């Protein structure tokens, strides 16, 4: 095999963990330069029953790219923008998402998906996990922005697929009833190949290239950070924003983000003058243009006035300097969490559940009542919040794990998902099994076995064989 293959443990060590802090092991690292290389590698591994795990930038929080034996296939050398023609672009899967987006903005175009790690993650990983972010409130996750992909199946077969390509009749069906919420959990029930391979977390094939859809970049963007004295007024304001219509209202945010009391305390350290009355925060961003921005800002102020918001403490940002200042305030939240993790000497446990809008209040109440130090924030526009529990001891860590599972159980009982954007990977398999049930898992296993007879690809992600070797 004339492919870059490394067996030096010192080099391989850099590929054995991800943002979840899960650590694995592997014997070989391969770094293909083309989809033909990927096909050759997978055919070899299938024939010799060698497990192989796809690795990109390892920003995953679920252990998905962490190998437990076998080979690692790194996508780092497939990182080129192949072409851009108007509202379409073709890009290799190993390209950094944020770099691609900035290049498109220079040409007046926008690729909307915006996971928090977009400046570190690759576009192939974003597709494989159907990544989303703050702007998913308006623009949705990655899925609707993908027009076609080149994928290499676990047998080494290459395919170019789009939504025009039906799922072959001989492939087992994976029909099930996923929750009607923002979700990144399991194989989507669909009649076309493209949607099946988006969000499959590297278990059914390796995405090597993608054709994506672009939209004209907004002329201007303004941001708002506002504060509320209680959760009732906060949720009421969010509902008013959801009720707004782009056809008749001037308040049409692309992002609606939430900050609970402990998150606001971290922001307070950056603002300095924020009063103790401010307990909950909402950050919004809106695409606009010079002709309408003044009227839109006036509409926002009117909405805040009628929503019990602490208007005098609200912060608007209309230019780059103002947005950077707001970004610093918001960055205080994850930075403060990371500092606390280091001080505690224990890992954090962060939820990724989503629920139907009508169940949001009940889910928030459950989060706020958690008896372990925590920071709550996230994508409230999609009823999708992240509770970051910060245990200080091994005993608290075990308690946090039990609380995590109970919160997942509650989200599912409310009609939600155990993962709205991070995926399942290796660390959420039990929660995922609770969510879908054994019959659905068996359907997923049948499809996996049909495409990957020896289960070489992404072994340990999403689910395990029913009778593991």
Q: How far apart are CA 464 and CA 103, in angstroms?
A: 40
Q: How many domains does the chain have?
A: 3
Please report, rounded to a whole number, the percentage of residues in the chain having pLDDT higher than 90: 83
Whether residues 372 and 338 share a domain: the answer is yes
Q: Structural domain of residue 139, as residue ranges?
A: 81-216
- pLDDT of the residue at 469: 56
Q: Taking Cα atoms as reference points, which of 94, 133, 128, 129 lies closest to residue 111?
A: 133
| Angle, helix 429-436 to helix 394-413, in steps of 10 degrees | 20
Boundary of a domain, candidates 59, 75, 91? 75
Helix segments in 129-230, DSSP class H:
136-139, 193-197
Boundary of a domain, candidates 216, 246, 275? 216
Q: How far apart are CA 423 and CA 284, in angstroms?
A: 25
Token pair, residue 352, equals 């990724």
149-184 pLDDT, tens digit each: 999 999 999 999 999 999 999 999 989 999 999 999
Pairing of strands 146-152, 71-74: unpaired
Whether residues 68 and 146 share a domain: the answer is no
Whether residues 276 and 264 share a domain: the answer is yes
- pLDDT of the residue at 141: 95
Residue 88 region, left (φ>0) first, then alpha (ψ -120 to 50), else beta?
beta
Q: How far apart are CA 128 and CA 206, in angstroms?
A: 8
CATH (domain of 255):
3.40.462.10
426-440 pLDDT, tens digit each: 999 999 999 999 999
Whether residues 150 and 299 share a domain: the answer is no
pTM: 0.93
Whether residues 212 and 231 share a domain: the answer is no
Boundary of a domain, candidates 413, 429, 454? 413
- pLDDT of the residue at 468: 61
CA distances from 10 to 16, 28, 63 (A): 11, 11, 20
Q: How far apart are CA 56 and CA 391, in angstroms?
A: 30
Q: What is the mean pLDDT of residues 265-280?
A: 89
Q: How far apart are CA 333 and CA 314, in angstroms?
A: 18
Q: What is the mean pLDDT of residues 222-231?
A: 95
Which helix (H) or strand (E) segment is 392 a member of? none
């Amino acid at each position: 095999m004339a492919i870059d293959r490394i067996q030096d443990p010192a080099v391989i060590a850099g590929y054995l963990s991800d943002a979840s802090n899960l650590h694995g092991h592997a014997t070989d690292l391969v770094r293909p330069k083309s989809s033909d290389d990927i096909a050759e590698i997978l055919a070899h591994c299938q024939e010799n029953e060698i497990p192989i795990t796809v690795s990109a930038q390892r920003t995953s929080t679920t252990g998905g790219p962490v190998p437990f034996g076998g080979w690692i296939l790194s996508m780092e050398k497939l990182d080129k923008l192949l072409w851009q023609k108007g509202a379409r672009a073709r890009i290799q899967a190993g390209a950094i998402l944020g770099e691609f987006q900035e290049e498109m903005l220079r040409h007046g175009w926008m690729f909307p998906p915006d996971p928090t790690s977009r400046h570190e993650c690759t576009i192939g990983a974003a597709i494989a996990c159907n990544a989303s972010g703050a702007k998913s409130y308006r623009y949705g996750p990655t899925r609707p922005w993908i027009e076609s992909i080149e994928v290499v199946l676990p047998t080494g077969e290459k395919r170019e697929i789009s939504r025009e390509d039906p799922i072959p009749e001989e492939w087992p069906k994976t029909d099930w009833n996923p929750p009607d919420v923002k979700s990144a959990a399991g194989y989507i029930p669909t009649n076309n190949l493209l949607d099946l391979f988006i969000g499959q977390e590297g278990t059914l094939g390796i995405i090597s290239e993608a054709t994506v859809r672009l939209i004209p970049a907004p002329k201007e963007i303004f941001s708002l950070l506002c504060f509320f004295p209680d959760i009732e007024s906060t949720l009421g304001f969010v509902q008013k924003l959801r009720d707004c219509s782009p056809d008749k209202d001037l308040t049409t945010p692309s992002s609606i983000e939430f900050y609970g009391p402990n998150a606001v305390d971290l922001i307070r350290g950056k603002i300095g003058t924020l009063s103790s009355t401010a307990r909950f925060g909402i950050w919004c961003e809106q695409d606009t243009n010079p002709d309408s921005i003044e009227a839109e800002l006036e509409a926002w102020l009117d909405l805040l006035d009628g929503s019990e918001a602490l208007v005098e403490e609200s912060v608007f940002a209309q230019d780059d300097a103002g947005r950077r200042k707001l970004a610093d305030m918001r960055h205080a939240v994850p930075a403060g969490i990371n500092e606390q993790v280091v001080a505690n000497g224990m890992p954090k446990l962060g939820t990724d559940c989503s629920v139907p809008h009508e169940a949001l209040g009940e889910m928030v109440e459950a989060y706020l009542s958690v008896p372990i130090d925590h920071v709550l924030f996230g994508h409230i526009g999609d009823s999708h919040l992240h509770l970051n529990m910060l245990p200080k001891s091994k005993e608290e860590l075990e308690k946090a794990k039990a609380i995590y599972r109970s919160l997942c159980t509650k989200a599912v009982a409310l009609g939600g998902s155990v993962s709205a954007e991070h995926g399942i990977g290796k660390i959420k398999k039990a929660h995922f099994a609770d969510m879908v049930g054994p019959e659905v898992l068996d359907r997923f296993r049948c499809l996996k076995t049909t495409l990957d007879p020896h289960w070489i690809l992404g072994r340990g992600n999403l689910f395990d064989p029913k009778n593991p070797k």
